[in-house]
Amino acid sequence: MKPTEKNHPPQIDTARLIARRKRQDLVFNILGVVCMLIGVVTLGALLFDLAADGLSLVNWQFLTSYPSRRAASAGVLSAWVGSLLLMLVTVSLAVPLGVAAGVYLEEYARKNWLTTVIEINIANLAGVPSIIYGLMALGVLVYQFHLGETLLVGGITLALLILPIVIVATREALRAIPNGIREAAYALGATRWQVVKDHLIPYSAGGIATGTIIAMSRAIGETAPLALIGALTFVAFLPPAPVQSRFPFVNFKWLNSDFTALPIQMFNWVSRPGADFQHNAAAAGLVLIIMTLSLNAAAIAIRYRLRKRIKW
Amino acid sequence: MPAGLSSPPRREKPAEGPPAQGAAHLMLGPGKRYWKDRIIRGLLFLAAASSVVVTTGIVAILLAESMVFFRQAPLWEFLTGTNWAPRNGHFGILPLVSGTLVTTAVALAVALPVGTIIAIYLSEYAPFALREIIKPVLELLSAVPTVIYGYFALLFVTPQLQKIFPNLQTFSMLSAGIVMGIMIIPYVSSLSEDAMRAVPMLLREGAYALGANKMITSIKVVYPAALSGIGAAYILGISRAIGETMIVSIAAGTGPRLTWNPAEPAATITAYIVQVCQGDLPHGSVGYQSIFAAGLTLFLMTLGFNILGHILRKRFREAY
């Protein structure tokens, strides 16, 4: 208790205090905007840098040529075809498995230790670095099961990698459906499976699709696991076509084909000395980032439409 | 049914006698529907349980190959040795660990302050419309493939940094770490913002009533109240940074080197694994086993952080 403080006229103090507090707020406001700009500007610089180095190379010839020793005539045909086929394997494995697991955990599972173990396990799998999945694929799929360094193994690896994302997306979509829907269906005598199949899955399809597309955009850019299982960097052929003109119209030989993928091709080009191949890397990166960003845009568009349409 | 008509309308009667033919499928209990439901339930359970198989596979293969590795490399040397060249008989993992820790520290020095301020700004200051636009844009930062970030770090960030620090080498942990930090900003900011928005309005109103401005409220009230959620966000960021592979493989160099100076090049655990796999790697060689031992180290590091994050997140959910 100092007497001087007590005698101090209070009005001046308050005015100064208010001014100081307002200044603080302004400073913090600016700080927040600056920090957001750091993120946004970096993203812009990255896109600009890629485009500046690679845009002039992205043309029809680049998309339809095989890699080559000479930078000028090298292209990404085998890489983007490999990436698309990989996504085909990945999605057709991860979506059924992930949705089934999500449905089980959200709609069927009783609260017991087994469920808890599975839930903790999935949360933990989501945090395992992708390179560890690559090690697992290399040790188990390539050398224990002798599946070879093929599209199938690459697809399985990426599918396991995105499985937790699909499961979480499914669970969140299911959780958003009001209980009244389930109860109404049960009241009409539906079994649990009928409720799931006829009501819950159709209503959560949009949310599941959003999650799956986000997961795909992550999988398509994954490099480390594919580098580990030995995706080749010099592939001057295409896998056998998945469709054919003769009966039964599909064949699965392509699953056992060696492959490369866009991020692998880009990694290979980045690692080479010399500006020529680095321009090729930028061009491959541009193709890759266009794929990634359009997947993300699709996910955002679906989410936006869902939010507008669904009103429980 | 003339017999039914003649008997008095007693509702209990049909239930006592043998069930009428038409009523059989209405009976509850093990029917076709029941068994179909059970089978589907079993299949769905198998799908959920398959995730446990994946974890088992990961742990089993890491342990099995590491066991073979540790038969040649004494555990003590592995943990304390300062020279890592498994194919020449040097088994000290410390150089790789130091590389991982330095790049992670640089990344966190970027991502934690920036991510936290963004989270506070978006949760406490930003108008609704701005938040709706800026959040997806920021999330794109974590959607960019990491190999592209590697390219960006090596061929854009490093040259820019060399203008400021002329002595910086072509490969450096500094530029890899900075770019990695930018990449994990959304991981930090998004979860932190969720945690701060979960703080009840009452706490903020209490602070305002005492004359606090938004900044004081954010820093002294909202931030501490959301701390466990924010801690979980930080830990997610750390775990991402430790496991990040392509940025460091491309931009931080591939030679194991025990150094704490971010301006130098050094391999991380992840970069070592990728680099070894690029070359000829015979199954069963020391080099092959060494990547599993390195992978096991990495797995244990991220597992520790993940468990910590899980505990924190659980606490933050239960707080209010």
Whole-number mean pLDDT of chain B?
85
Q: Are residues A130 and A161 in contact, defined by beta-carbon separation less than 8 angstroms?
A: yes
Instruction: Give the whole-number percent of chain A exceeding pLDDT 90.
Output: 46
| Architecture (CATH level 2) of domain B84-318 | Orthogonal Bundle (1.10)
Per-residue pLDDT, A9: 54
> What pLDDT band is residue A273 in, cutting at 50, 70 and 90?
confident
The answer to whether the Cβ–Cβ distance between A46 and B144 falls below 8 Å is: yes
Superfamily of domain A58-309: MetI-like (1.10.3720.10)
Q: How far apart are the first and last CA of chain B?
A: 65
Between CA A297 and CA A129 the distance in angstroms is 25
The answer to whether the Cβ–Cβ distance between B47 and A45 falls below 8 Å is: no
Question: What are φ and ψ of residue A229, in 5° steps?
Answer: -80, 5
The beta-carbon neighbor of A131 closest among B47, B48, B270 is B270
The rounded radius of gyration (Å) of the Cα atoms in chain A is 27
A-chain CB neighbours of B52 within 8 Å are 117-118, 121
The answer to whether the Cβ–Cβ distance between A39 and B185 falls below 8 Å is: yes
B-chain CB neighbours of A96 within 8 Å are 47
The beta-carbon neighbor of B145 closest among A39, A124, A288 is A288
Give yes or no for residue A8 having a pLDDT over 60: no
B 162-221 → A contacts, CB under 8 A: 182, 185-186, 212-216, 218
Per-residue pLDDT, B25: 54
How many angstroms separate the CA of residue B37 from the nearest CA in chain A? 6
> What pLDDT band is residue B1 in, cutting at 50, 70 and 90?
very low
> CA angle, A303 as apex, A302 and A304 as ends, to 5°?
90
Cis omega (within 30 of 0) for bond into A248: yes
Between CA A296 and CA A301 the distance in angstroms is 9
Between CA A156 and CA A90 the distance in angstroms is 6
Nearest Cα residue to B175 out of B151, B142, B202 = B151
B125 to chain A, any CB pair closer than 8 A? The answer is yes
How many angstroms separate the CA of residue A290 from the nearest CA in chain B? 10
- List A243's β-bridge partners, or say none: A250
The amino acid that residue B206 corresponds to is: G
Over the stretch B122-166, which tens digit does the pLDDT of each residue have?
Answer: 998 988 898 888 888 888 888 899 999 999 999 999 999 999 988
Give yes or no for residue A93 having a pLDDT over 60: yes
Between CA B207 and CA B213 the distance in angstroms is 8
The answer to whether the Cβ–Cβ distance between B236 and A224 falls below 8 Å is: no
> What pLDDT band is residue A11 in, cutting at 50, 70 and 90?
low
Per-residue pLDDT, A159: 95
Summarize the confidence of residues A179-197 as an average pLDDT. Answer: 92
Nearest Cα residue to A130 out of A254, A260, A220 = A220
Between CA A294 and CA A76 the distance in angstroms is 19
The beta-carbon neighbor of B55 closest among A121, A193, A220 is A121
The beta-carbon neighbor of B55 closest among A125, A278, A300 is A125
Q: Are residues B285 and B61 in contact, defined by beta-carbon separation less than 8 angstroms?
A: no
Q: Are residues B119 and B192 in contact, defined by beta-carbon separation less than 8 angstroms?
A: yes
Between CA A222 and CA B172 the distance in angstroms is 23
The answer to whether the Cβ–Cβ distance between A132 and B244 falls below 8 Å is: no
Per-residue pLDDT, B3: 42
Q: Which residue has the higher pLDDT, B108 or B279?
A: B108
B 84-103 → A contacts, CB under 8 A: none
Measured between CA atoms, the residue of chain B closest to residue A98 is: B47
Instruction: Give the whole-number percent of chain B exceeding pLDDT 90.
Output: 49
The DSSP-derived string for chain B is -HHHHHS---TTHHHHSSPPGGGGGG--SSSHHHHHHHHHHHHHHHHHHHHHHHHHHHHHHHHHHHHHHHHHS-HHHHHH-S-EEGGGTEE--HHHHHHHHHHHHHHHHHHHHHHHHHHHIIIIIS-HHHHHHHHHHHHHHHHS-HHHHHHHIIIIIHHHHHHHSTT--SS-HHHHHHHHHHHHHHHHHHHHHHHHHTS-HHHHHHHHHTT--HHHIIIIIIHHHTHHHHHHHHHHHHHHHHH--HHHHHHS-SS------TTS----HHHHHHHHHHS---TTSHHHHHHHHHHHHHHHHHHHHHHHHHHHHHHHHH--
In this prediction, the answer to ipTM > 0.85 reads yes
> What pLDDT band is residue A6 in, cutting at 50, 70 and 90?
low
The DSSP-derived string for A53-99 is HHGGG-SHHHHT----SSGGG---HHHHHHHHHHHHHHHHHHHHHHH
Per-residue pLDDT, B314: 75
**Lowest mean pLDDT, pick from A7-21, A260-274, B136-150:** A7-21
- List A128's β-bridge partners, or say none: none
Measured between CA atoms, the residue of chain A closest to residue B245 is: A224
Per-residue pLDDT, B6: 42
Selected residue of B25, B38, B43, B54 to mutate for chain A interface (largest A Cβ count, 10 A): B54
B51 to chain A, any CB pair closer than 8 A? The answer is yes
Per-residue pLDDT, A106: 92
Instruction: Find the helix packing angle between B94-120 and B269-278, rounded to 10°.
Output: 120
- List B85's β-bridge partners, or say none: B90
Give yes or no for residue A110 having a pLDDT over 90: no
Over the stretch A25-63, which tens digit does the pLDDT of each residue have?
Answer: 899 999 999 999 999 999 999 999 999 988 888 888 888
> What pLDDT band is residue A84 in, cutting at 50, 70 and 90?
very high
Give yes or no for residue B5 having a pLDDT over 70: no
Between CA B46 and CA B40 the distance in angstroms is 10
Instruction: Give the whole-number percent of chain A exceeding pLDDT 70.
Output: 90
The beta-carbon neighbor of B65 closest among A32, A130, A139 is A139
Q: Is A129 exposed, middle or buried (0-12, 13-18, 19+ CB in 10 A)?
A: buried
The beta-carbon neighbor of B243 closest among A98, A129, A160 is A129
- List B84's β-bridge partners, or say none: B91
How many angstroms separate the CA of residue A224 from the nearest CA in chain B? 6
Question: What are φ and ψ of residue A274, in 5° steps?
Answer: 100, 140
Show Cβ contacts of residue A132 under 8 Å, excluding neighbours closer than 6 positions: B58, B62, B243, B295, B298, B299, B302
Q: Which residues of B106-119 are buried (b: 16+ CB within 10 A; e: fewer)?
A: bbbebbbebbbbbb
How many angstroms separate the CA of residue A132 from the nearest CA in chain B? 6
CA atoms within 13 A on the CB side of A116: 3
Residue B159 has a CB neighbour count (10 Å cut-off) of: 12
pTM: 0.86
Per-residue pLDDT, A90: 95
Instruction: Domain ranges for chain B, please list them.
Output: 32-72, 84-318
Instruction: Find the helix packing angle between B286-318 and B32-72, rounded to 10°.
Output: 130
Per-residue pLDDT, A157: 94
Measured between CA atoms, the residue of chain B closest to residue A213 is: B143
Between CA B182 and CA B171 the distance in angstroms is 18
Q: Is A178 left (phi over 0), alpha (psi -120 to 50) or beta?
A: beta
The answer to whether the Cβ–Cβ distance between A270 and B48 falls below 8 Å is: no
Per-residue pLDDT, A307: 75
Summarize the confidence of residues B65-71 as an average pLDDT. Answer: 91
Measured between CA atoms, the residue of chain A closest to residue B288 is: A139
Show Cβ contacts of residue B266 under 8 Å, excluding neighbours closer than 6 positions: B95, B98, B99, B102, B173, B252, B253, B255, B256, B257, B258, B259
Over the stretch B220-276, which tens digit does the pLDDT of each residue have?
Answer: 999 998 988 899 899 989 999 999 999 999 998 888 888 888 888 999 999 999 988
Q: Which residue has the higher pLDDT, A57 or A247?
A: A57
Q: Is A146 left (phi over 0), alpha (psi -120 to 50) or beta?
A: left
Summarize the confidence of residues B154-183 as an average pLDDT. Answer: 91
Give yes or no for residue A311 having a pLDDT over 80: no
Q: Which residues of A248-277 are buried (b: 16+ CB within 10 A; e: fewer)?
A: eeeeeebbebbbbbbbbbbbbbbbeeeeeb
Helix (H, G, I), strand (E, B) or coil at A244: coil
Give yes or no for residue B186 having a pLDDT over 90: yes
**Lowest mean pLDDT, pick from A83-97, A176-190, A197-211, B21-35:** B21-35
Between CA B297 and CA A284 the distance in angstroms is 33
Whole-number mean pLDDT of chain A?
86
Which range has highest mean pLDDT (A268-277, B10-19, B233-242)?
B233-242
B-chain CB neighbours of A282 within 8 Å are 151
Q: Which residue has the higher pLDDT, B77 or B22?
A: B77
> What pLDDT band is residue B18 in, cutting at 50, 70 and 90?
very low
Per-residue pLDDT, B14: 43
Give yes or no for residue B12 having a pLDDT over 70: no
